[in-house]
Every structure is written in C-alpha cells, then in structure tokens.
Structure 1
Amino acid sequence: MTILKEPFFHFLALGVFIFATYAWLGDGDDAGQIVVTRGQQDNLVSTFRQTWQRPPTAEEFQGLLEDYIRQEIAYREASAMELDRNDIVIRRRLRQKLELLTEDLASMTPPTTEEIVAFYEVHKEDYRADPRYSFQQLYFSADHRNEKAREDALGALLQLEAGGSEAETAADVISLPRAMRDATRREVAATFGTGFADALAALPEDSWAGPVESGFGQHLVRMAGHTESQILPLVEVWQTVRNDLLAERRQQAVADLYDNLADNYRITVEPFMGDRGR
C-alpha cells in the first residue's frame, strides 16, 4: 500500500499546505509586526507551570514575554540574513520536525483490533517469554583452586551421587545466590553469565549435574524445575503489541514520505574515491 492511499498522507498534505501558505503570507499585512497571541501566552505559562510546578509571577511572565519577543526578532533577522542556510544544526532540526509531524499524523488513527491481531500473528516470535529455571548450585573457585577447580567439582559430584552430604560443605563461598527460583534465563545470565545460563537447558532435573563453568569458576547444579520458552498469548501482551504496531506504522510513514518526496528531485551521487582519491 503506498502512502497516497493512507489517511495520514492526506493530513500531512493538508499540514504542509497550511505551513507553506502561512510562510508565503507571512505574519500578516505588516511583515514588521510581531503579535504575541493569547494562545502563545497560554503556551508560555503552561510550559513554565510544567517546569516549575506553579504559575509564573507577574515579573516572571513579563520576562517570558520579553524572551519570546527576542526569540522572534532573532529568528526573523537571522532568516533575512540567510544565516540558516547550509547550517547542519538547523537542517537536522527541520528534518526532525518533518519526521515528527509525519509520525504524529501516522498515529492519529488508532489501530483496529483486526490490525493488532494480524500484527501479532506475523511477529509472534517477538513475544516469546524467556525460559525459567529453579535450581541450586555449589561453587568451586577458579581463583582459589586454579586448575583443580573442575577436578574438585567432579569429585564432589561423585560424593553427591553416592549420597554423601559433605560435598556441600566443601564448596567455596561466593556472593552469588546458592539457589534461584523461577528465574528467567535473562536473570540467570545477569547473575552467573551467559555461558552458565545456556548450559542449564541441557541439565537433568532432580539430580546434581555438572560441572558447569561460569566466569567465576565451576558449579555443580541441581535443577529443581525448568519451564520452556513459550510465546505469550495476545491477551497478556496486547498493549505491547499495540505500541509496537504504532511504532512500525510511524517508521513506515517516514520511509514512505521520503520515497514519495524523492520523486520530486533529480538525485545524483558523484563517485567517491575516499582516501584513494587523495
């Protein structure tokens, strides 16, 4: 579907027309006249109130008016002197304003239920929940035991498999949890590291296993429970899906805008040799 068929394009065209007409007509019959409207004054007061959580005093309001008038004078004089030409900061700001206008127009029409459902069906994998793990771990320090850390862990594993409990007291102490319950893979990775988290999926439940290596050393792990990764039902992620759909719509609107506006230009990219041309 092209931008010409989208409702927001019509709003955009209207907005551009109004903006162009306003720029062509100027600020009124007298180009040298500055009028601070009631609406502009309300905006000044509203901005001040949002910043300071109170209305401005009479003196502060007068300062706001003077600053607004100076800003308007500076803008008109700088424009008359063409100081805005070839200014990268102004170019970026104008581009930002154009894109924000386009995004706002693209968001004016709320997505329908059918559109949200269709978006979810296409992007289901984006709403997959992390697997979850419940486990205990015994730690064998690589710093203290050096190359014997894995060997000692294997010895402790044999003792545990034989029913011995002394292996638990032989483990080293570290400021990591001895157990995690119903923790997401992301939470495990943040605590023990990505490699440790990846290894958990292959471990059996209800028995000690390992050693599993982390950035800290070697670990014996007893898996108590493991919930597989699963796609969350739409009802649980409805608002997230809706927000993602609006974000994609805004992004596509900007892309369509440039695609259509580019047709108005003859674009030439000269050959560039980089350092080879110097």
Structure 2
Amino acid sequence: MTIKSIIRSPLLHFFILGGLVFGLYALMNPPGAQPPRDDVLRFSETEADRLADAFTAAWGRPPTEAEARGLVRDWAVEEAMVREALTLGLDQGDAIIRNRLRTKMEFLAEAPAAAMTPDDETLRAFYDDNRDRYARPAMLGFAQVLLPEDADAEEIDALRAALAQGADPSGVGQATMLPPSMDGMPVPAIERVFGGGFGAAVAALPPQLWSGPVTSGYGRHLVMVQTVQETAAPALDTVRDRVLADWRSEQARKMRAAYTDGLLRRYTLDLPGEDGEERP
C-alpha cells in the first residue's frame, strides 16, 4: 500500500468525517467572539509524494504499509499541534521562530542563484576580480636550527659561522623534535607549525644564507631559505567548479541584499520618542 492509497482508505475518511462533525458543531456553537476554526486536516497527494520521497531518500526504499500509516499519523500530529500553537499565539515573540522565518525568507530571496549559469566572459571577469582567492600560497623549503635559550650574540654568531661552513644543522643548536629542514611547505602551514609570524619572517629572508635569529613559538632559530615557489594563480579551467560556486554565492548575496532593501522600503520605521516617521 502506498501513501496515496491511504488517502482513499476508510480510516482517513473517518478522521476527515470526524473533523467535519466537530467543525459543524463549532459553527453551531460559536465560542464567543473567537474566529471559526478549521479543524479539517487536508492530506493532499502533494504532501503524500513529499513524505514518500523523503522516506525513500533516507532509507533507499519506499515505505511499507505500516510505515506509510505512521508517516500520515506523524504528519497529522504535527499539523494539529502547529495549528493549536498558532491558535494559542505561541509563535508570537518567540526568537527561534522569528529567526527561522527570517532564514526561510532569505532562502526564498536567494534561491534562484543556485540555478544560474554565467557565460564564460562573466565567469572569467569574476575570476580575474578575485584571483587572490584561488592563488596557491608561496611555498618555502628551508633548514632551521633552534638556538639555546641562553645563547648570547657571540654564541649565535659562532653557530651561524659554523653552519655557513657546512656544519650539519641536526648536530648544532638545541635538541628539538622539530625537523631540521622543511621542503616545499606553504607559508600558512609554516605558521601553524611554528606560530604566527614565523612563516612571513622566513619568506622575507635572503635565500641560501643562514640568517636570523627568527622567533617562533619554540624560541629563536637560525634559518636558511633553500627553495622558494612564489604565489601562483591556477588556470581558470582547473578551478572552474569552485569559481562557479563562489559566483553563485555572490549572486545569492546580492539577491538577498536587493530583496531586503526593497522589503524595507515598503515599511515605515516608527522609533520610540520621535515625533516623525522614518524609513529604515
């Protein structure tokens, strides 16, 4: 049995008939000045398809007869509770509900951007304007020696001279778990390993010379830059999917901003303590 067949089932007809009876009773016995209630839960074929599709997407198969009845019952419980909550005004002043409604309106405003496909010229122009976003960071290969904490200027000069004459970096300086050399490491990764500022400082050093001290999160280092790969922007075709996604995100942001501005122009902002009216 499918969800659609439940629409034609006697059980569902019983619930609908019961709702009609209670609705008729409410019309014949109005509760004071309250507006008439709609007590019929109208389960449409569209709703049936939505529930069946959601179940199939989650479980990889259509629901059984028992599961279909459970889905219909859950839908009816949710619909009834939402109606009762609205009747009681529980949606008023609820920050979570207000934020959810705002999010849904923003989604509706920007949803068309997901289906937009720019021509090559437009995508190329967007890529050129945001080339730095897709550029590969500079990569450095370098050797380093961690200096003893109490090393003075004279000792540092002696270590630098020894390294310049070919001393093994792993055999001088302070013992450490850090590798004596790094090969082709992106500057952001260097920052993460050694601490903020170290990568940028190393990138500014002259190549093939022992320089420093350069301070990291571990202490002071003597460093020799061995290889440098400058920042490079990839070809558009190699990052086209990413650029397209970013272009659509930008269009969605513009659509949301335009919708918000147009919406606010329809309202007048009345601020407390002010005589005049002001538009947002």
Alignment of 1:90-129 (within 5 A): 90-129=97-136
Residue aligning to 2:145 = 138
1:56 Cα deviation after fit: 4.1
Residue aligning to 1:148 = 151
Residue aligning to 2:236 = 234
1:133 Cα deviation after fit: 0.4
Q: State the SS of the aligned residue for 2:179.
A: coil
Length, aligned pairs only? 238
Q: Rg bigger for which structure?
A: 2
Distance change >3 Å, CA 146–CA 138, structure 1 → 2? closer
Residue aligning to 1:24 = none
Alignment of 1:259-270 (within 5 A): 259-270=261-272
Percent pairwise identity: 30
1:41 aligns with 2:61: no
**Which deviates more, 150-159 or 240-249?**
150-159
1:12-46, Cα deviation, whole Å (9 max, x unpaired)? xxxxxxxxxxxxxxxxxx94322323332333233
1:57 Cα deviation after fit: 4.2
Distance change >3 Å, CA 183–CA 167, structure 1 → 2? closer
Residue aligning to 1:193 = 195
Cα separation, 1, equivalents of 2:157 and 2:270: 68
Cα separation, 1, equivalents of 2:129 and 2:169: 50
Cα separation, 2, equivalents of 1:160 and 1:247: 52
Distance change >3 Å, CA 269–CA 223, structure 1 → 2? same
Look up the equivalent residue of 2:157 and give its one-letter code.
L
Distance change >3 Å, CA 97–CA 151, structure 1 → 2? farther
1:180 Cα deviation after fit: 1.5
Cα separation, 2, equivalents of 1:166 and 1:175: 16
Cα separation, 1, equivalents of 2:234 and 2:153: 39
Look up the equivalent residue of 2:73 and give its one-letter code.
E
**Which deviates more, 192-201 or 121-130?**
121-130
Q: State the SS of the aligned residue for 2:115.
A: coil
Q: Contact 1:149/1:218 (CA < 8 Å) preserved in 2?
A: no
Residue aligning to 2:185 = 183
Q: State the SS of the aligned residue for 2:90.
A: coil
The answer for unaligned runs of 5 or more in structure 2 is: 1-36, 275-280
1:160 aligns with 2:163: yes
1:88-117, Cα deviation, whole Å (9 max, x unpaired)? 222111111111111212333222222211
**Which deviates more, 214-223 or 79-88?**
79-88
Q: Contact 1:188/1:197 (CA < 8 Å) preserved in 2?
A: yes
Distance change >3 Å, CA 168–CA 96, structure 1 → 2? closer
Distance change >3 Å, CA 102–CA 51, structure 1 → 2? same
Cα separation, 2, equivalents of 1:151 and 1:243: 56
Distance change >3 Å, CA 153–CA 236, structure 1 → 2? farther
Q: State the SS of the aligned residue for 1:67.
A: helix
